[in-house]
Chains A and B, each alone.
Chain A
Amino acid sequence: MDKFKEIIRQYPFLGFVIAFIILMLVPSVFFTDLYQSHLASLICINIIVAAGLNIVKGFCGQVTVGHVGIYAVGSYTAGCMFLYLGSGLWLTLPAAILIAGLFGVAFAIPSFRLEGPYLALATLGGGEAIRLFIENGDFFMSTYGISNIPQPIIFGVPFDTPDKYYYIAMPIMLIAIYFSFSVLRSSVGRAFMAVREDPISAAASGINVKKHKMLAFVLSAMFAGGAGAVYAHLPPGYIHPNNYTVIEMVTFLAMVVFGGLGHIWGGIIGAIIITIVYDLTRPLYEYQLFIFGLTIVLTILFMPKGIGGFIDKYFIDRRFKTKTGAASK
């Protein structure tokens, strides 16, 4: 097992190939109806957003509540490109990532001077402004929403049903996770954490604080933008400004917080659990915001590092014990 771990560590790409094969087989083994496939695609999309949010919030420590706005930018880039240019996913996805990245720059600028709740307020305003701009713009079909956004066709096979679309969303999610792992396990990820923990002492170590804040915002915006585009093309291919409200933002935040802020698996674990819970609680629509708000509060109070941190703690304690032959504390 250790040898296997070592190989994966050396060739991380191999791990993703294995994950890809397993995930390819999941639907035929476990899924019994189309709805489960739809949910699986949704989980994939949420994982992309949460992995991105974990970069900026969990690792770089910048509170952002405007991420859903960037997610909307991604979706509407895809939507408008279809509407006016007739583009498909393979064109809209890179465009959405690019444009979302630009919005990431805009969201990073307040973080140079603001911190904590003040930054949260500024980004909240930014996110809401984007949504209202879309809602009131005829160019974006305002409150009608954009419908019939097409699914991609590969080798003449249309991926237009939920069970097929899963095979589009899943590989994109894996690629996103691969990038997030690569960044976070490198010196860049360490620099992000240093900026989160203490910007002054990070700067003294030669880490350019502004540059890394900018990087974190842009990277995570690109994740959100990409996810937005994948969401826009999700069958039935309909987007509406109401899909990008504060409620969605709270859900995204709940994923990252519950999964474990600053834990490399955090966003992923959280996205899977919260998406499923979100779906199961749909009948209790009025209470959803309450439930997720409460989840965030309780998690921060009793499990500040989320599930990921909980697992981490267990393994690291064990490693420490075996090394020194004594309990750490």
Chain B
Amino acid sequence: MLLKTNKLMKAFGGLKAINKVDFELPANEIRGIIGPNGSGKSTFFNLVSGVYEPDPGSYIEFDGNDITNEPPHKVGELGLARTFQLLRLYQDMSVINNVMSGYHTLVPYSFIDAVTGRKKIWDQEKTIKEEMMELLSFVGLADYAELNASELSGGQRRLLVLARAIAGKPKLLMLDEPAAGLSPVNVDNLMKILMRLKEKYGLTLIIIEHILKVVMDTCSKVTVLDHGEKIAEGTPSQIKDDNAVIEAYLGKKMDDEEMRKALAV
């Protein structure tokens, strides 16, 4: 298993944001996580990536390492990358610098090398930059490399966040609503790029998404959360017909009679 959580728990005061969630994810899978707002999806991400500290009794394992109480940068070093719902781009840095800072853990030279400014650093920096430019052209942002990230459009920002997360060559990439606020055409484009990236880098993906088409089309398995608890897990078609999921998230399919009644009111 690439990622495993056991009795994962997090309470904010009296609210159990995540309640005893057991989660297992084998390598090379694309997993979707769905659930209504406030069901604990983002909290789950924050716990796994170390932004929040889980409550005692929880256990998180990533790639054979116990990461339960590791700080976020340690988790990142191990090869777990994530994006944020609110993007959290480095607004005041150029696009290329955004991506290059995602490469941080792989930089081959030491701090002492950097301070003394030896020549080999500039060669290595050049190689890094070329590699990152390649990544940028892969997602279609190469022409904007020298612009400030704040000058990009909404869709381009989402692509940039994706590129930054992939720059560190992670094993597992967790995407928090990658397609939120995108037009249907852009959503398709983003998913196409995502699938190509997955193939190229051999990524394992976890995707939180409210656009169900994305989840149903791309994910091989879906986990459903509600009120901090895992209420269902299975293939997209299984999830679609699961009564608990319909009740909590998808909503009931109305027949004609019910529809007429609902509209009349």
- Could you tell me which A residues sit within 8 Å of B by CB distance? 9-13, 178-179, 181-183, 185-188, 190-191, 193-194, 196-198, 200-209, 215, 262, 316, 319-320, 323-324, 328-329
Q: Within the complex, what minimum Cβ distance (angstroms) separates B159 from chain A?
A: 16
B107: Cβ under 8 A from any A Cβ: yes
The residues of A that contact B155 with a CB separation of less than 8 Å are: none
Taking a contact as CB atoms under 8 Å apart, the answer to whether B115 and A190 are in contact is: no
CA gap between A45 and B15 in the complex, in Å: 56
Q: What 0/1 readout, one digit per residue, does chain B (102-123) give for beta carbons within 8 Å of chain A? A: 1111010101011111010110
CB nearest to B71 among chain A residues: A203
Given A182-B116, A201-B84, CB of A206 within 8 Å of CB of B104: yes
Binding site for A on B (CB under 8 A): 49-51, 71-73, 76-77, 81-82, 84, 88-94, 97, 100-105, 107, 109, 111, 113-117, 119, 121-122, 125, 128, 143-144, 146-147, 151, 164-165, 167-168
- C-alpha gap A179/B118 in the complex (Å): 11
| CB atoms of A186 and B114 under 8 A apart | yes
A183 to B115 Cα, complex, angstroms: 5
Given the contacts A197-B90, A201-B90, A181 and B76 also touching, CB distance less than 8 Å: no
Which chain A positions have C-beta within 8 A of B51? 200, 203-204
Alpha-carbon distance A209/B50, docked complex (angstroms) = 13
| Complex: chain B residue closest to A184, CB-CB | B114
Contact B84 A188 (CB under 8 A): no
B97 touches A190 (CB 8 A): yes
B92 touches A207 (CB 8 A): no
B221 to A: closest C-beta gap in Å: 24
With contacts A190-B100, A323-B143 taken as known, whether A205 is within 8 angstroms of B107 at the C-beta atoms is: no
Is chain A's interface secondary structure helix, strand, loop, or mixed overall? helix
A-B contact pairs, 15 of them (CB 8 A): A12-B122, A179-B116, A182-B114, A182-B115, A187-B103, A187-B104, A188-B114, A190-B101, A193-B97, A197-B92, A198-B88, A201-B88, A204-B165, A206-B73, A316-B94
Question: How far, in angstroms, from A159 to B88 measured CA to CA in the complex?
Answer: 53
> How far is B121's CA from A11's CA once the two chains are assembled, in angstroms?
11
Q: Which residue of B lies closest to A11 (CB)?
A: B119
Residue from A181, A186, A201 having most chain B Cβ neighbours under 10 A: A201
Are A187 and B168 in contact (CB-based, < 8 A)? no
Q: Which residues of B contact A319 (CB under 8 A)?
A: 146
> Would you call A320 and B119 a contact (CB within 8 A)?
no
B227 smallest CB distance to A (angstroms): 25
A194 to B164, CA, bound (A): 12
A201-B86 Cα distance, complex, nearest whole Å: 10
Residues of chain B within 8 A (CB-CB) of A209 are 73
Q: Are A204 and B114 interface neighbours, CB within 8 A?
A: no
Q: How far is the CB of A60 from chain B (nearest CB, A)?
A: 13
